[in-house]
Chain A
């Protein structure tokens, strides 16, 4: 049986999702997306510059088999998040929303009170809600109960490339969750992504690590392979870790008599 990921009613073959921020050009972003093999990308929303030129990111994303996942980055409250989600649905013709409410610009820590309020309302309004959260197993269960489509716990600070600093808590979330767990934020290199997949994460979302690599296209491919490898290792049943040696060759004492 093929190992597919299902979120809401959508089937994904790739367990790697990409953020579209920080790429040096739209062309490089487009090539990195293709190299990654990903099937879902995030976009942000911004106010149109009334007088200026507005680059159109969608020209690089349309006509590709991609689920667009707009985020609510920039909002400070549940009320703002709900409005932005409605505007995203209108502008992008999707009811999928990455709910992220992080009022403090230095650490970008998710505000769980506002996130919960917004998630409840957005689920009622028919959105497919994917909330960005701390690696908090209790909160992830609460979100699951109100009907979110997946949870997106952080590995470390957004954009920090520090890896899976929340490892212990991610493992609990993965163990307990009945909705897909997408490890988001902080994954800095391919081995971090492989590790998250080996823990049993359903997917990872990568942005900075690819977009700001020296060669984003090669890095996108590296992440593609790492996610496949990590998932395969998880599915294969990872061998037991021991505190002592266990010989892999026979210890026949055939040289004793020399």
Chain B
């Protein structure tokens, strides 16, 4: 099936990744071993994608994804 899908380019935290089209946020997080991490948040093109939308939100070619977590700070 994947052979029939086109490849898309996605920027994740400033790094370029390639996925098949129709990939969801959850697919990408799963691919990065982050899908079970509850302490992260995801934005696509400067719009937050809540975790309950990860499985339905489809990523498009040239989307910019930001994934954040907490760190030390004052």
Contacts and interface: CB of A to CB of B under 8 A. Distances in A.
Interface residues of A, number: 40
Contact of A50 (B12, B47, B51, B72): B12
Interface in B12-35: 12-15, 32, 34
Contacts of B39: 56, 58, 91-92
Contacts of B67: 47-48, 50
Contacts of A47: 13-14, 66-68
A91 B69 contact: yes
B40 A44 contact: no
Nearest to B13: A47
A45 B71 contact: yes
Nearest to A44: B73
Interface in A204-232: 205, 207-208
A159 B73 CA distance: 11
B48 interface: yes
A123 B73 CA distance: 23
Interface string A14-57: 00000111110000010000000000001111111111001111
Given A48-B13, A48-B34, A42 B71 contact: no
A208 B43 contact: no
A86 interface: yes
- Which of A50, A55, A68 has the most chain B CB atoms inside 10 A of its CB? A50
Nearest to B48: A86
B69 A19 contact: no
A90 interface: yes
A189 interface: no
A21 B72 CA distance: 4
29 contacts: A19-B74, A20-B72, A20-B73, A23-B72, A29-B72, A44-B73, A45-B69, A46-B69, A46-B71, A47-B67, A48-B40, A48-B68, A48-B69, A50-B12, A50-B13, A51-B15, A68-B70, A71-B73, A73-B74, A83-B46, A87-B43, A90-B41, A90-B42, A90-B48, A91-B68, A91-B70, A92-B70, A159-B74, A205-B74
Given A45-B70, A57-B72, 9 more contacts: A42-B73, A44-B70, A47-B14, A55-B71, A57-B70, A68-B70, A89-B41, A92-B70, A208-B74
